Structure 1
Amino acid sequence: MDECIKNCQECHAACASLIPHCLHLGGSHSSKEHIGLLQDCAHICATALSFMLRESPRHTLTCGACAAVCRECATDCEAGANGDAWMLACAEQCRTCADSCARMVSLRMPAVSMH
């Protein structure tokens, strides 16, 4: 879980910091869809991170959503990068986070008793 927590933190930072860069680049980089996806990815990473830090028994649910959004964001950043190092780095971090979150889901750790 510690590795996934670290990857979610790093992906959140990568996506959040890429937003102003994309807005500066303009064109398709600053499209509503791309910026919205970066925001969604940063937010779902923060949510998954929070669930894991709190040791919520529902962390696999947020990790599953995080993996899906991170994969979509990675594909989008990679497709529009045109050699831009920041976008390619963000895509790589998104893929790392997606893989890590997918592993968390596959572990399906037993739910913690709430009693």
Structure 2
Amino acid sequence: MTPSMDDCIGNCTDCHATCLSAVAHCLGGTAAHAQAGHIRLLLDCADICRTSADFMIRGSGFHHRTCGVCAEICTACAAQCDRMADDPVMKRCAEMCRRCAESCRAMSTATA
């Protein structure tokens, strides 16, 4: 395992937790925060982050593919959360999603 893979695993794990926390926050917040599409995207992001971390931890030869999808979903989630950047939880989520997307994008192009 390389240092960049360790960083990516950490980012995926942190992003998973951040997105789940954001879901809990949204469900207790305003109507815009609780829209089904927004919650669904946060849950999609949390799940793909967990999956990507799992693939890298166990040394799967397919981790580059899950990381590519993870980067795509994290980018979409960051954009969605940026629309609510006046909310500190959404701002933190957008920042974490961008960080995770960046490291996953790098892993997706690394040789398997």
TM bucket, shorter chain: over 0.9
| Distance in structure 2 (CA, Å) of the matches to 1:108 and 1:80 | 37
2:30 is equivalent to residue 26 of structure 1: yes
How much does 1:105 deviate?
A: 1.1
Post-superposition CA distance 1:64-115 (Å, at most 9, x none) = 000000000000001123x111100000000000000000012123xxxxxx
5+ long unaligned stretches in structure 1 = 110-115
The letter of the residue matching 2:103 is S
TM-score w.r.t. the length of structure 1 is 0.91
Q: Percent identity?
A: 48
Please list the CA deviations of residues 19-56 of structure 1 after superposition, one character each: whole Å capped at 9, or x if unmatched: 11111112111000000000000000010011000100
Q: What is the aligned partner in structure 1 of residue 65 from structure 2?
A: 61
Equivalent in 44, 51, 66 of residue 48 of structure 2: 44
Give yes or no for the alignment of 1:12 onto 2:16.
yes
Q: Please report the TM-score for the alignment, with normalisation by the length of structure 2.
A: 0.94
> Which protein has the larger Cα radius of gyration, Structure 1 or Structure 2?
1
- 2:84 touches 2:91 (CA, 8 Å); kept in 1? no
Q: CA RMSD in A?
A: 0.7
Counting only pairs closer than 5 Å after superposition, residues 77-96 of structure 1 correspond to structure 2 as 77-81=81-85, 83-96=86-99
Match of 1:105 in 2: 108
3-state SS of 1:26 partner: coil
User: Structure 1 residue runs of 4+, over 3 Å off?
Assistant: none
Matches of 1:76 and 1:106 in 2, distance apart? 25
Q: Which of 2, 6, 11 is the aligned partner of 1:2? A: 6
Q: Give the Cα–Cα distance (whole angstroms) in 2 for the partners of residues 66 and 97 of structure 1.
A: 8
